[in-house]
Amino acid sequence: MILAQDTAPLFDWDWVGRNLDAIWERTVEHLALTGVALTVGIMIAVVLSVVALRRPRTYPTITAATGLLYTIPALAVFALVAPFVGIGTATQRFITAEIALVSYTLLILIRNIVTGINEVPAGVREAAMGMGYRDGERVRQIELPLAVPAVMAGIRIATVTVIGLVTVTALLGLGGLGFFILDGLRRSIIFPTEIIVGVALSVLLAALIDLSLLGIGRVLTPWARGRGT
Amino acid sequence: MDFLSDVISWFAETGRWTGDDGIIPRTIEHLWLASLPMLIAVVVALPVAVWLGHRRIGGFLANAVVNIGRAVPSFGLIILAAVFFARAGVSLRFWPGAVALLALAIPPIFTNAYAAIVTVPGETVEAARGMGFTENETLWRIEVPMGAPLILAGIRISFIQVLATVPLAAVLSSGGGLGQYVVRGFAQGASGLVEVFAGAVLIAALTLGADWLLSRGERLVLPEGLRRRGSDEIRAAASIS
Amino acid sequence: MIRLDNVTKMFAGGTHPAVDGLSLAVGRGEFVVLVGPSGCGKTTTLKMINRLIEPTSGRIEVDGRDVMTVPPHELRRSIGYVIQQVGLFPHRTIGQNVATVPRLLGWEETRISDRVRELIELVGLEGSMLGRYPAELSGGQQQRVGVARALAADPPVLLMDEPFGAVDPIVRARLQDEFLELQSRLEKTVVFVTHDIDEAILLGSRIAILNVGAVLEQHDTPEGILAKPANGFVESFIGGERGLKRLALRAINQAGVSRGPVVDVTATTEEAAKVMGEHGVSWVGLLSGERLLGWVDGSEIEGRPLAELTPHEFLVSLRSDSSLRAALDAVVTSHARVAVVVDDGIYRGMLDLEAIAEEITE
């Protein structure tokens, strides 16, 4: 195979050393984009889940709507929102990106929250009522804690997905670590180091955060450890 | 409202639909870019997953595949693939996208097919064996038909995911199907927003349309009695979104 | 203590009332079993007592108060509730589970922990289990915790919906016996739902047999129902072998035992022969003071002193609090066709088939 001169050498550690500041900045940007998306996403998902749980008939509609947002590729959602929010200022670009990222998380979060609560065993719910828990007390003290595993699973999936999607926001001028991926490509000579750094760090970030969330989930559910059967 | 009339004009321009850069050729390219990797993914991943599921081994693999698949950004994957193909002197219009999309297509197909076979109740399989079905017959005449809802769902999910990722390949060159409009438009800043929006509408229409079509198709193909097995619970257990 | 006054429940979309004008009274300290075929409305009736289901019409009173006038959560905190699936909270330890109602009522910590400890022992579990989670316990253990949890705040009334249904027969029998003993000590007012007539007969002080629509077919003591079933439905529901079931309800010491063909070892062979003749048997039992040594066949005596003989042991002997049914079983299986009654080595007497049969026919 003839090596074309289309790219620079495969990995340039010097570049990494020289650009640690930029790498750090972009990582922080990545985390910020992810964090905001998840926080807003969880808040909206909780509200919609409560609606779906109180009025089960709304659930199919809610699922259909959020499913729509989920199916449309993130890039297209950016593109649908951008003309209306604008991409002139950094704030506008941030908002455009966040709207798309948040809408991607909704389906999975809502589905897991609703399923998590619905799957609390009927016997447990009945026993709680029969013993004299008021409705609010019961939901807060019994059903919610038992829904934690399902909710955490949803949060993990949503978070890892968002971390991947943040890279696409590079097309909007943001990108977090995706900035390096796009920048490496767009140079006059393709620069693999940047691309590799961008991809590797995204994956690393996703893996670390996933494991942390897994750990947090374990801490929150001491009863699910060491089951005999 | 000005903006929307601009968008409508964009669609109405002569040569917009047919012609070199036209919507129709680009849609066809988009579908082709999605279909080829899908075909290969199905041919490669499905039998392996089904076989592993039948033997009830390799569960960790199914799990790992899905988790890794989710953690690796498809955007990054495409561009990484581009790096290697560029070094090999190959045109970037098709191959990097195809390779990256293949990697993207495999996890849902693999994990769903695996879950589909593994969740067939043990007693059913035993009953079949007890009645004299051979291993092969048990697999293809009992387990696979019973797993059909999940398997088909996995293929549908995979295809929609791939279809949704094709646009990202547009950053590489002039490919990327309908994504080219969006990427090109963004590169032009504020003035490109009409094209960006139009492209987005087209992409959304294509993906939603494909999803709807495939869902309908799934429902038609599956016999009544099995429909319950494609339920949310099993899907959640298989940790497929 | 509990009164249902013409209570009716009609569910939305139903064609017939689940409960149709039921009137029932449960006295303080009574153990009432609601029993009937599946779908007869017994569980619906039970759930109306603690207002998990609200009646369409009619009045329900618990301890003099109309259940509809008390806020539901308050009502339920004063009534113990045990269900078949147990419903222990998986995310809380056993100790926390048992402490649920006291905590809802705001008891102080020391009182709660003392009470929890007391209850765990009461239901036959060890204190070391308090820190474990429900998933680590077996089905039988879980249900014991369920009972402890229901009793925690010392409610006067206990509602139980097929609580022993989800465990295997051996565990179920143990739980039933232990609960009977517990109830004899605590004397709660219990309303117990089951579809198993034998369980009802075993546990209940009174049984209410319900037909579809919670129609009350008969409300009486177990003995009363077995002796005089009110109608064909009750008869077929009770099932066969009613005589044997009635025998199971009575203990030997409620009936009378007779002395039987026994002599002391110091007696003469003539006295032995006389006793055998009186009872019309060819064998005699030997006593040493109050202790029963065994029996010897007439042919083995041959003029020798009784004390020199080696008596055969009676294979089965029963205590005087054993049931007449067990006595019947002993009679049928023994060589001599008698049931021997011995309490801690002290001979009480014997029963034969006739004596037992007389008990039923009166």
Q: What is the 3-state secondary structure (H, E, C) of chain A?
A: CCCCCCECCCCCHHHHHHCHHHHHHHHHHHHHHHHHHHHHHHHHHHHHHHHHHHCHHHHHHHHHHHHHHHHCCHHHHHHHHHHHHCCCCHHHHHHHHHHHHHHHHHHHHHHHHHHHHHCCCHHHHHHHHHHCCCHHHHHHHHHHHHHHHHHHHHHHHHHHHHHHHHHHHHHHCCCCCHHHHHHHHHCCCECHHHHHHHHHHHHHHHHHHHHHHHHHHHHHCHHHCCCCC
* Best to test chain A binding among B75, B78, B101 (most A CBs inside 10 Å): B75
pLDDT at B60: 86
* Strands laid side by side in the C262-264 sheet: C262-264, C283-288, C291-297
Chain segment C61-110, per-residue pLDDT in tens: 999 999 999 999 999 999 999 999 999 999 999 999 999 999 999 999 99
* Strands laid side by side in the C19-26 sheet: C19-26, C2-9, C57-62, C65-66
Partner A contacted by B77 (CB < 8 A): yes
* Chain B residues within an 8 Å CB radius of A83: 3, 193-194, 196-197
Contact assignment for B75 to A111 by CB distance below 8 Å: no
> SS3 of C256, please?
coil
* Chain A residues within an 8 Å CB radius of C100: 131
What is the DSSP pairing of strand C262-264 with strand C283-288?
parallel
Q: CA B67 from chain center: how many Å?
A: 16
Chain segment B184-206, per-residue pLDDT in tens: 888 887 788 888 898 899 999 99
User: Which of C81, C90, C104 is opposite residue A130, by nearest beta carbon?
Assistant: C81
Q: How confident is the model at residue A4 (pLDDT cuts 50, 70, 90)?
A: very low
**Is residue C24 predicted with pLDDT exceeding 90?**
yes
pLDDT at C94: 94
- The residues pairing with A20 across neighbouring beta strands, listed in sequence order, are none
Chain segment B153-164, per-residue pLDDT in tens: 899 999 999 999
What is the DSSP pairing of strand C157-161 with strand C338-343?
unpaired
**For all residues of chain B together, what is the average pLDDT?**
84
Q: How confident is the model at residue A7 (pLDDT cuts 50, 70, 90)?
A: low
CB within 8 Å of chain C, chain A residues 94-133: 121-133
Q: CA C15 from chain center: how many Å?
A: 37
Partner A contacted by B168 (CB < 8 A): yes
**Is residue B224 predicted with pLDDT exceeding 70?**
no
Chain segment A128-175, per-residue pLDDT in tens: 999 999 988 998 899 999 999 999 999 999 999 999 999 999 888 888
Nearest-Å Rg of the Cα atoms of chain C is: 26
**Is residue C149 predicted with pLDDT exceeding 90?**
yes
C-alpha–C-alpha distance, residues C59 and C8, integer Å: 9
Nearest residue of A to residue C89, measured between CA atoms: A124
pLDDT at B17: 83
* Chain C residues within an 8 Å CB radius of A223: 90-92, 133-135
Chain segment B40-83, per-residue pLDDT in tens: 999 999 999 999 988 888 888 888 888 888 888 888 888 888 88
Answer positive or negative: Cα dihedral of A14, A15, A18, A23: negative
pLDDT at C253: 81
pLDDT at B211: 92
Contact assignment for A130 to C52 by CB distance below 8 Å: yes
Partner C contacted by A226 (CB < 8 A): yes
Name the nearest CA neighbour of C77 among C61, C96, C59, C100.
C100
Q: How far is B56 from chain A (nearest CA, A)?
A: 20
Answer with the residue of higher pLDDT: A46 or C265. Answer: A46
- Work out the percent of chain C whose per-residue pLDDT is above 70: 100
Cβ neighbours, 10 Å, residue B59: 13
Contact assignment for C100 to A131 by CB distance below 8 Å: yes
Nearest residue of A to residue C85, measured between CA atoms: A123
Chain segment A199-226, per-residue pLDDT in tens: 999 999 999 999 999 999 999 988 876 5
pLDDT at B239: 41
Q: How confident is the model at residue B226 (pLDDT cuts 50, 70, 90)?
A: low
**Is residue C141 predicted with pLDDT exceeding 50?**
yes
User: Which of B74, B160, B204 is opposite residue A76, by nearest beta carbon?
Assistant: B204
User: Which of B3, B80, B179 is opposite residue A195, by nearest beta carbon?
Assistant: B80
Report the first-to-last Cα separation within chain B, whole angstroms: 37
Least confident among B132-141, C112-121, C198-207: B132-141
pLDDT at A6: 54
* Chain B residues within an 8 Å CB radius of A206: 70-71
Contact assignment for B236 to A170 by CB distance below 8 Å: no
pLDDT at B205: 93
Least confident among B67-81, B211-225, C24-38: B211-225
Q: How far is A82 from chain B (nearest CA, A)?
A: 7
Q: How far is C15 from chain A (nearest CA, A)?
A: 25
pLDDT at A98: 94
Across the range A92-119, mean pLDDT stands at 92
Across the range A88-109, mean pLDDT stands at 91
pLDDT at B10: 86
Give the helix ranges, DSSP H, for C8-164: 42-49, 72-77, 94-98, 100-105, 109-122, 139-151
Q: Hey, what amino acid is at C255?
A: A
Nearest residue of A to residue C99, measured between CA atoms: A131
CB pairs under 8 A between A and C: 78
**Is residue A192 predicted with pLDDT exceeding 80?**
yes
**For all residues of chain C together, what is the average pLDDT?**
89
**Is residue A227 predicted with pLDDT exceeding 80?**
no
- Please indicate whether chains B and C are in contact, defined as at least 3 beta carbon pairs under 8 Å: no
Contact assignment for C52 to A126 by CB distance below 8 Å: yes
Least confident among B66-80, C17-31, C46-60: B66-80
pLDDT at B225: 59
Across the range A38-49, mean pLDDT stands at 94
Across the range C32-41, mean pLDDT stands at 92
C-alpha–C-alpha distance, residues C179 and C80, integer Å: 14
Q: φ and ψ at C212, to 5 degrees?
A: -50, 135
pLDDT at B228: 52
C-alpha–C-alpha distance, residues B81 and B72, integer Å: 13
* Chain C residues within an 8 Å CB radius of A126: 52, 83, 85, 87
pLDDT at C240: 83
For chain C, the farthest-separated pair of C-alpha atoms sits apart, in whole angstroms, at 86
Q: How far is C91 from chain A (nearest CA, A)?
A: 5
What is the ipTM, given to two decimal places? 0.80
Nearest residue of A to residue C137, measured between CA atoms: A228
C-alpha–C-alpha distance, residues A168 and A162, integer Å: 10
